Amino acid sequence: MARRPLPRILSTGSAQIARSRELARTAADSATDVLHPLITVSRGLRRLASAGRRRWAETPKDRRGPLLFLVASVVLVVALVPYGPLLAVISLMAAAAWQGRDRKPSEPDGPDESQTQRLQSLYEALVPYFSAAEDPAPLYTHGGEWEKAFPAYDFDATGRVTHLLIRYPAYFTDGEAESRARIEQLLHAKSGRGREYHFAWDEEGNELTLTVLAPLPTDIAAQRFVTAPGETVLGFTDPTQVQRTLPLGYGDGQRDVPPVVWRTGIRSTEPHLLVMGQPGSGTSTLLRSIALQALQWGDVVIVEGGSTGEYACLIGRDGVLAVECGLSGAVASLEWAATETERRLIATNRARQAGHPPPDDTKRPLWILLDRPSAFTHLAAADGRKDPQSLLQVPLRHGRAANVTVVVADQFDSAEALSDPVRQHTRARVVLGPATPDQLEAFLGAPPHTTPVTEVPPGRGYARLGTGPVHRLQVPATPDPYDDATSEADRQAVLALLPERTTPADAETVPSEAAPSEAASSEAVAAEAAPSEAVVAEAP
């Protein structure tokens, strides 16, 4: 079928609007240039009138009569003198033009002495990398002029570079990662450490743009984000990296912040997430934030290997099927999760073969959150028991079709203990806390376009969803509300997001390890063996 062309008003409307705006802007600039003398004289007359009113108000009442007589005498003399009124008007216009001039200090045409010295230093440092002996007209030479190499630049109040456009010769190997890394490391050192720089390479134009990035906001508290089902906000990033913003409450006001949105579900290309970081970098904070968002639409099973009680606030809440911190409970819950994934797959397949929609009990999302599962690996090896990570193979491999999402968080020192299925099926990656460029590239699969810093706030890191770009990330503040070190504002923000408590924490019992294995015998038994009846196991 031939596609009908769009109406002319729709196909050319944006171009006409842009052209109209450009014409209006040009007309306004032309009118300003033509009327600039009149605007200056009017501004001067207004300033002279204001000065006259102030002088009259400051004059004592007993002297106002003589002052009026003096002014009237001057006016009479000017009126009687030949060409007096004309000369008075000319003098008044000249005084008004002088008073109405733009008194702002003129900006210097170029950099000052300190800024010139800094640019010359950068230029000299780049000479060994951007010069060749065979070049007949080198752009970079020792003692050369930096004006041609740096056509655009900006400085901050302290005199450090904030924006710099660098031109380099065409024979520079900008397609090699090692060559780029050397230039970026050099510019980072010479422009000032302690800041994050973004490098944009234009290989076609042989130009490199250096930009100093502003710090990401760290004062965004946990709240209800305006997202659709299947969308999870991992954190917030730079406005130039994403094309979407979310309205967030900030104190008594509201502001729009660009988010990093992770999409899950049947049509997701990155159905599972892996988070790595250093101790205290905010991995548990990210998992808490994900859990609070997941509870709006689905059920959550939490397995905590650190046994620190970071998720005690979720015990017994509506939609929280289990919060396990012991080896026995972790194995039982993950066995049930694997059986539940198989049950959903079987039920969905049977419904499709019969020509019916999937059953309702398979549509509700199921989230499996594991915090430091490598701790259970060592315990299971010591006791000769099954590693809980081995039970994740079915949810990881078939979770997308069964509406099951797995999120794993661990530390860099335990990265070798992660199983192969966890590494292979977690295509969405997040790194929190300080990390070397080699660690970031090895874990994310691509180096970030910014320079990592050594000192970062909690929840600060990088995120990459599948094969997409690497984003800077700041996780929203979602602390443990039962922690004494939590501020009152953050505590109330998290407590306001918690679902209602449906099961008292005192009445919870430890699940038997045989329950999930017995549930594997049939689908009906698997549905009854959900770990919602027993959510917390004792610490090993």
Q: Distances from the Cα of 371 to the Cαs of 274, 280, 330, in angstroms?
A: 10, 13, 11
Residue with tokens 């050594």: 454
How many CA atoms, within 13 angstroms, populate the side-chain half-sphere of residue 221? 20
Query: CA 435 to CA 26: how far, in whole Å?
Result: 50
The response to whether 278 counts as a known ligand-binding position is: yes
Q: At 41, give phi and psi (nearest 5°).
A: -65, -40
Strands 253-257 and 246-250: antiparallel
CB within 8 Å of 155: residues ≥ 6 apart: 111, 115, 161, 162
Q: Which element (helix H / strand E) includes 246?
A: strand 246-250
The response to whether 459 counts as a known ligand-binding position is: no
The response to whether 487 counts as a known ligand-binding position is: no
Give the length of the chain: 540
Taking the CA atoms of residue 526, residue 527, residue 529 and residue 530 in that order, the dihedral angle to the nearest 10 degrees is 120
How many CA atoms, within 13 angstroms, populate the side-chain half-sphere of residue 521? 8
Taking residue 322's Cβ as centre, other Cβ atoms within 10 Å add up to 29
Query: CA 192 to CA 210: how far, in whole Å?
Result: 12
Q: Helix, strand, or coil here: 232? A: strand
Q: Can you read off the two tokens belonging to residue 509? A: 């019992």
Beta bridge partners of 250: 253
Query: CA 407 to CA 234: how far, in whole Å?
Result: 12
Residue with tokens 């509300």: 481
DSSP 355: T
Strands 428-432 and 404-411: unpaired
Query: CA 439 to CA 441: how far, in whole Å?
Result: 6
The response to whether 283 counts as a known ligand-binding position is: yes
Query: CA 274 to CA 430: how far, in whole Å?
Result: 6
Strand order in the sheet with 152-155: 152-155, 161-167, 207-213, 196-202
Residue pair 40/101 in contact (Cβ under 8 Å)? The answer is: yes
Query: CA 470 to CA 394: how far, in whole Å?
Result: 29
Q: Specify binding-site residues for ATP.
A: 277-284
Which residues fall in the annotated binding site? Answer: 277-284
